[in-house]
Amino acid sequence: MGFHVFLGVMLFFILLTLILKSWKIRPLILMFAGIFNMIYVFYIFSNDVSFPLPGYLMFDSLGKIIYLGYSLLFLSLSVYAFDYLKLKPDRGNRIFIISMIINIITTQTACMSQDLGILWASTEAATLSIAPLIYYNKTKYSIEATWKFILLTSIGIAIALLGIYMIGYAAFQVSGKGTLNILALKQMTTLMDDKWLLFSTIFLILGFSSKMGLAPFHWWKPDAYGEAPGLIGALLSGGLVSLAALCLLRIYQILSPSDIIIYYNNMLLTLGIISLFFSAVFITHQNDIKRMLAYSSVEHVGIIAIALGIGRAGLFAAILHTFFNTIAKGVLFLSAGDIQRIFKSKKTEDISGLFTVSPIIAVIFLSGVLAGAGSPPFSLFVSEFLILLNLVKIEDLFLAVLFVIFLIFIFMGIITMTIKVVYGQKSSHAGSLDDFRPTFFMISSEIFLILLVLIFTFYIPQNILDTLKDATLLLGVKI
């Protein structure tokens, strides 16, 4: 069962979505797509699959681990969407479902790609497939958010393409034959001209970090996350962020033998610290839960960037954090969407006393927030702690202290707001649960994700652990 089978089934699902007239049955297709994708991922993890074009499309360990995180998130989202879409009978769900399925195809292509050109094209396609989803609510605000999202990420990705052309040109100067194959480029980097390689690195990092939402390129993030449905917020902050992280990891893979890697590290370290700073500043006075989550996402991409910036020691933690962050963000955005529906508002002044209205959502949201803030016993604590440990290990105490201070500020900001949301007097805005009652599918998909975040702290299956180790080996680090 290779990629073509997967592609065939997904295209069949798209066709089915187009043909089926009943909007009630259509969400079922999305659920099937999510489940089928999960089975496919299990199959990939347990078997050696051969790929027809290994120079272009092939799952290596790095792609596998990122795709596993995405698939777990997507499975939960597709189950959630089954009931979510029923809440909006007037909207029509054809475009929604098709965009989601296109997103899964393009994300898989990006994870598989062994060629910078294909990686670039599929990342861009994955981004564009999300645009109609942000616009799903069709309000004045969602238009503005979509516009900013499209324009800024498109510019970012165009700049990244310039970087790719430059590295291709540098490769052409070395071998007289251009290539964008990641492994081939990696072998050539030591021979390449430093100027071209440096420019290329700068453009690639600028491009992909604007896609990832690292500060100071994060301005689209609070708007897009704030206005998109919670479901799509999860897809953006889990799926798209991990894709961008994959792109940055691939650049690391290419640059790892050369001296330019120092510039790469320093740039990402700087961007990471700036992201933590912006997140700490803006999260404390936030009065909108979804925008708060967006800044929490800025924090996490900042942490990933810092881990990449540490260099060899931080790579394992960077991959681990990307993986965990994908899953944790799902819980947060899904439960925030529920809260918004219960209180008919996402402003904190309208929301309080969630615990008295819906205890189960309150518990899920609270544990999601704790997980997202990186407190034990959730698995993000492990990766954040690893990063801190490595910061101390490379004897950059100043950065380590800065890192901890920012994290404490962010933690306090998030927790203060969460306590206000969860406890306290029941707000007058709270509708009765008869208007909106979180269904079994919705709650179970959230619990599934939070359990995953919890379980991974104590136990990671040997299979996944081996893949993780192999992925860091691919980046030139043996653990």
Residues that bind another protein (CB under 8 A): 115, 117-118, 120-121, 124-125, 128, 131-132, 135, 138, 140-141, 143-148, 150-151, 154-155, 157-158, 161-162, 164-166, 168-169, 172-173, 177-180, 193, 195-196, 222-223, 226-227, 282, 285, 287
- Are 259 and 194 a contacting pair, CB within 8 Å? yes
User: Which residues lie closer than 8 Å to 254 by C-beta, 6 or more apart?
Assistant: 116, 167, 182, 185, 186, 189
Rounded to an integer, what distance in angstroms lies between the CA atom of residue 112 and that of residue 115?
Answer: 9
Q: Which is nearer to another protein, 282 or 378 (CB)?
A: 282
| Pair of tokens at residue 152 | 């800024």
Q: Which is nearer to another protein, 195 or 344 (CB)?
A: 195
Rounded to an integer, what distance in angstroms lies between the CA atom of residue 278 and that of residue 283?
Answer: 8
Question: DSSP alpha helices (H): ranges in 180-288?
Answer: 182-188, 194-212, 220-227, 230-234, 241-255, 261-283
Q: Which is nearer to another protein, 96 or 196 (CB)?
A: 196
What is the smallest separation between the CB atom of 338 and another protein, expressed in angstroms? 22
Q: Which is nearer to another protein, 151 or 262 (CB)?
A: 151
What is the smallest separation between the CB atom of 225 and another protein, expressed in angstroms? 11
Label residues 288-300 b or e (16+ Cβ within 10 Å = b): bbbbbbbbbbbbb
Sign of CA dihedral 310, 282, 452, 5: negative
What is the smallest separation between the CB atom of 243 and another protein, expressed in angstroms? 15
Q: Which is nearer to another protein, 86 or 91 (CB)?
A: 91
| Pair of tokens at residue 166 | 């430059």
Q: Which is nearer to another protein, 196 or 365 (CB)?
A: 196
What is the smallest separation between the CB atom of 476 and another protein, expressed in angstroms? 25
Find residue 288's DSSP bridge partners.
347
3-class DSSP state for residue 346?
coil
Q: Which is nearer to another protein, 195 or 393 (CB)?
A: 195
- Helices 315-343, 359-372: crossing angle, 10 deg rounding: 150
Q: Which is nearer to another protein, 139 or 463 (CB)?
A: 139
What is the smallest separation between the CB atom of 57 and another protein, expressed in angstroms? 12
What is the smallest separation between the CB atom of 38 and another protein, expressed in angstroms? 28
- Are 124 and 57 a contacting pair, CB within 8 Å? no
Omega before 54 within 30 of 0, i.e. cis: no
Rounded to an integer, what distance in angstroms lies between the CA atom of residue 224 and that of residue 329?
Answer: 15
- Torsions phi, psi for 478 (to 5 deg): -100, 130
Q: Which is nearer to another protein, 218 or 329 (CB)?
A: 218
Long-range contacts: 429-434, Cβ < 8 Å, 24+?
A: 429/343, 429/344, 429/345, 429/350, 429/351, 430/342, 430/343, 430/353, 430/357, 431/342, 431/343, 431/344, 433/342, 433/357, 433/358
What is the smallest separation between the CB atom of 172 and another protein, expressed in angstroms? 5
What is the smallest separation between the CB atom of 15 and another protein, expressed in angstroms? 20
Q: Which is nearer to another protein, 243 or 269 (CB)?
A: 243
Sign of CA dihedral 308, 314, 70, 179: positive
What is the smallest separation between the CB atom of 385 and another protein, expressed in angstroms? 31
- Nearest CA to 427 among 362, 331, 372? 362
What is the smallest separation between the CB atom of 144 and another protein, expressed in angstroms? 5
What is the smallest separation between the CB atom of 228 and another protein, expressed in angstroms? 12
What is the smallest separation between the CB atom of 97 and another protein, expressed in angstroms? 18
Q: Which is nearer to another protein, 169 or 381 (CB)?
A: 169
At 341, the amino acid letter reads: R
Q: Which is nearer to another protein, 197 or 430 (CB)?
A: 197
